[in-house]
Chains A and B, each alone.
Chain A
Amino acid sequence: MDSVAHRLSAVGAGAALELRGVTRLFGALAALTDVTITVRPGERRAVLGSNGAGKTTLFNCITGDFPPSSGTIRFFGEDVTHFPPYERIRRGLRRTYQISALFPGLTVQDNVYLACCGVSRGRFSFLRPGQNDALMHAADALVQAVHLTAVKDQRVAELAHGQQRQLEIALALAGAPRFVLFDEPAAGLSPTERAELVEILTSLPAHIGYIIIEHDMDVALRVVESVTMMHNGRIFKEGLPEEIQSDPEVQELYLGGGHE
C-alpha cells in the first residue's frame, strides 16, 4: 500500500496526479477551463486564487464529486476520469471539505472508525468490532494523531469548530492515503490552532503528497514546495513559493488585494 507510492516515487515512474485539459462547465459558465496540472508522488502544492477562481471545482473534478466536462484525470498512471468518487478513494485519493462534512450524530471515534471502514473490506460487515479490531485500533491512532483523544467519545455536534476541523483531517487520513486534497483546512482556526495544523501537515509521512487550498499565506507557504495560482478558472502561474510571492502580477491580482 504505502510501499507502492514509495516505489513509484523512487523510480520516478509517472505522476501522482495528472490533469490534462480539464474543463468543467456549469451551464454556460466555465468554472474550469483547460486546466493541466502534474503533481509528483509526495509533492506538496498550494493552490491559490481569489474566490471563484475554480479551486474547489478543481477538487470536485479530481475526486469525482462532479465529473469534468472534458479532459482526463490520471491518478498514479490510471485513468480515473470516469470513476465514481468511491473508486478513486479506494485507490488512495482523499479530500477534506471547506465546510466540515462530518457525522454530527456519531461520536468522534465512530466518525474516524467509519472512515477506516470505508477504505477497507470491512465496510459491509454485519459484525460489531471486538476488543482487538484492527480498524478500531487504526481509528484510535488517527484520533490521537489529530490530538482529539480527550474528546473521542463525544458526539461531533458538541465539538468546538477547531476540533471539527481537526476531525475533518483525520477522516481524510484513514487507511493508506497516497494523495490528499485539503480544502481550506485553516478556515476559522485560531492562531494556536493554525500552528497545530501546520505541525500536523508537516509531520505527514513523506510519501503522502497533497494539494492545499489556503488563503492564509503563513500556513500555505510553510507547508508546500510548489504553488499554482488560479484565476477565473484557469492556471495563471506555477512556481516555487518565493517566486509566486515576489511575482508582481500575482501581487497585483491576489496578495496585494488581500493585504490592503
Chain B
Amino acid sequence: MSVTHDARIQVRSAASTAQRQAARGWPDINNPAAWIVGAILLIMPLIANGFFLIEIFATTLILGTIALSLMFLAGYGGMVSLMQLTIAGFAAYMVAVFGVSANTNISLGWPWWLAVPMALMLATIFGTLGGALAVRTEGIYTIMITLAIGAAFYYFTNQNWAIFNGHTGINTVSTPHFWGVDWRWDIPFYYVVLAVAALCYFAVDYISRAPFGLALQGVRDNPRRMAALGFNVNAHRIAAYAVASFIAGLAGVLQVWNYRQISPGSVSVGACIDVLIIAVVGGITRPIGPYIGALVFVLLRTFALDFLVRIGLDGNRFRLLIGLGFLAIVFWSSDGVIGLWQRWRQSQGRQADRPGGGHHG
C-alpha cells in the first residue's frame, strides 16, 4: 500500500510544480536556453562524428521518445505504465515482420511506407488494449498489470518462432531508400530521428494545454470530480494510452531502423524498467525530462564501462553506476534532473533578487 501511496503523492506534488508555468502559449519560445539547445541539435552533424551522432544522440532521442510516452501517461495522467518499451518493441517487430529482412520465411516484404503505418496502427491497438485492462486499476496495480504485459510479451517473443523467430529475432531489417538517399546513413538518419523526436515533444507539450490534456491532468488530480463534470474518466485514460502508444510505436520504428534487427533482448523486463528509470531520472513533470534522463542513461551506459575498467572494476558494473545515480537523484529531487535544475534556478533568482530589493529600501 505504501508504495502506491508514495508513487501517487510524488506524481501529484511534481505535477503541481509543472502547472506553475501554465502560460497558454508555447512555454519555451522566450527561453534562450531552448533556442540554443535547438540550434546545437540542428548543427550536430557538423560537430559530432558518426559514433556520437548515432550511438549517443540518435539513441538518446529514440529512448527519450519512448520515455516521453511514459511521461505523458505518468506526469499528466498519473498512470505509471511499464509497457511503453514493449509497445515500441512490438512496433519494431511489426516493421520487421511486414517489411523486408534477411528472415524471408517471416518477413512479408512490404515496402517501408506500407509496413510502417501498419506497425504504428497495430502498436497503437496493442497499447490501447493493454491500457483498457490497466485503467480498471490504480497505482501499484497499474504498474503490475503493465509489467505483466511486458513480461508476457518478452517470453512470447522468445518462444514463438512463426512470427517473432524465437530468441534469435529478426535480422538485417531493411531501411528506407528514396530520393537517392539511404535514410539509414548517419546524417540523414540523425535528422529523421531528430524530426520525429521534436514532433513528439511539441505534440505532447501542445496537447498538455488543450482540453484533452487539461482533462487528463484533472483525471489525475480528482477522477471523481471529473466524472461529476461530465467526463468519462476511463475513456479519457484509455485515449491517453492510445496517444502514448502511438508515440512509443514511432520510437520503436526508429529503433529497428537504428539497429537493423530486433530480438527478445530488446524487449526484456530489464529494458522496460530502464524506461521508467530514464523518465524518473529526467523528471516526469515536463516533456523535456525524459530526453535529459535518456542522455544521462546513454552516456553512463556508453562510457561507464571504460571508466570502470580504467579504475580496475568489471565493466559490466555500469548498471551499478546507473543505480547509484538513480538513488541519488530520487533522494535529492522527487522531480529528477529537472527538479534539481529548477531549484538551482530559483536559488539563483533569490540571490539576484536580494541586491535588487535593496534599491527599493
Which residue in chain B gives the minimum CB-CB distance to A115?
Answer: B229
A59 to chain B, nearest CB (A): 10
Q: Are B218 and A114 in contact (CB under 8 A)?
A: yes
Whether A90 is near chain B, meaning CB under 8 Å from some CB there, is yes
Q: How far is the CA of A84 from the CA of B239 in the complex (A)?
A: 18
Q: Are B221 and A105 in contact (CB under 8 A)?
A: yes
B206 to chain A, nearest CB (A): 7
Q: Are B218 and A95 in contact (CB under 8 A)?
A: no
Contacts of B15 in A (CB 8 A): 105
Whether B217 is near chain A, meaning CB under 8 Å from some CB there, is yes
Whether A61 is near chain B, meaning CB under 8 Å from some CB there, is no
Q: Are B210 and A114 in contact (CB under 8 A)?
A: no
- Interface size classification for chain B: 20 to 34
Interface string of A56-99 (1 = CB under 8 A from B): 00000001010000000000000000001110011000110100
Whether B49 is near chain A, meaning CB under 8 Å from some CB there, is no
Whether B19 is near chain A, meaning CB under 8 Å from some CB there, is yes
Q: Are A126 and B210 in contact (CB under 8 A)?
A: yes
Contacts of B354 in A (CB 8 A): none
Q: Are A89 and B210 in contact (CB under 8 A)?
A: no
Contacts of A125 in B (CB 8 A): 210-212
Whether A155 touches B229, Cβ cut-off 8 Å, given contacts A103-B221, A105-B221, A123-B211, is no
Counting chain A CB atoms within 10 Å of each CB, the highest count among B12, B15, B20, B229 belongs to: B229
Interface string of B7-51 (1 = CB under 8 A from A): 000001001101110101000000000000000000000000000
B242 to chain A, nearest CB (A): 11
A84 to chain B, nearest CB (A): 7
Whether B207 is near chain A, meaning CB under 8 Å from some CB there, is yes
Which residue in chain B gives the minimum CB-CB distance to A91?
Answer: B230
Tell me which of B211, B224, B233 contacts A122 (CB under 8 A): B211
A133 to chain B, nearest CB (A): 10
- Interface size classification for chain A: 35 or more
What's the count of A-B pairs with C-beta under 8 Å?
A: 108
Whether B231 is near chain A, meaning CB under 8 Å from some CB there, is yes
Whether A118 touches B22, Cβ cut-off 8 Å, given contacts A65-B228, A123-B230, is no
Whether A89 touches B228, Cβ cut-off 8 Å, given contacts A124-B211, A128-B24, A155-B19, is yes
Whether A10 is near chain B, meaning CB under 8 Å from some CB there, is no
Q: How far is the CA of A115 from the CA of B18 in the complex (A)?
A: 21
Counting chain B CB atoms within 10 Å of each CB, the highest count among A63, A86, A89, A127 belongs to: A86
If over half of A's interface residues share one DSSP class (helix, strand or loop), that class is named, otherwise mixed; here it is: mixed
Contacts of A157 in B (CB 8 A): 16
Q: Are A124 and B239 in contact (CB under 8 A)?
A: yes
Whether A105 touches B214, Cβ cut-off 8 Å, given contacts A63-B228, A115-B229, is no
Q: How far is the CA of A114 from the CA of B217 in the complex (A)?
A: 10
Whether B94 is near chain A, meaning CB under 8 Å from some CB there, is no
A223 to chain B, nearest CB (A): 22
Whether B232 is near chain A, meaning CB under 8 Å from some CB there, is yes
Q: Are A107 and B22 in contact (CB under 8 A)?
A: yes
Which residue in chain B gives the minimum CB-CB distance to A155?
Answer: B19
Q: Are A119 and B24 in contact (CB under 8 A)?
A: no
Contacts of B222 in A (CB 8 A): 101-103
Q: Are A128 and B210 in contact (CB under 8 A)?
A: yes
Q: How far is the CA of A104 from the CA of B239 in the complex (A)?
A: 24
Q: Are B207 and A126 in contact (CB under 8 A)?
A: yes
Chain B stretch 191-228: residues in CB contact (< 8 A) with chain A: 206-207, 209-212, 214-215, 217-218, 221-222, 224-228
Counting chain A CB atoms within 10 Å of each CB, the highest count among B221, B228, B233 belongs to: B228
Q: How far is the CA of A106 from the CA of B198 in the complex (A)?
A: 26
Contacts of A201 in B (CB 8 A): none
Contacts of A129 in B (CB 8 A): 24, 210-211
Q: How far is the CA of A222 from the CA of B288 in the complex (A)?
A: 54
24 residue pairs of the A-B complex, CB under 8 angstroms, read A84-B227, A86-B231, A89-B229, A101-B222, A101-B224, A101-B225, A103-B218, A103-B221, A104-B221, A106-B214, A110-B22, A114-B214, A115-B229, A118-B229, A122-B211, A123-B211, A125-B212, A128-B209, A129-B210, A155-B16, A155-B19, A155-B20, A155-B22, A171-B225
Q: Which 9 A-B pairs have the closest CB atoms?
A: A118-B230, A118-B229, A105-B19, A89-B230, A105-B16, A101-B225, A85-B227, A119-B230, A125-B211
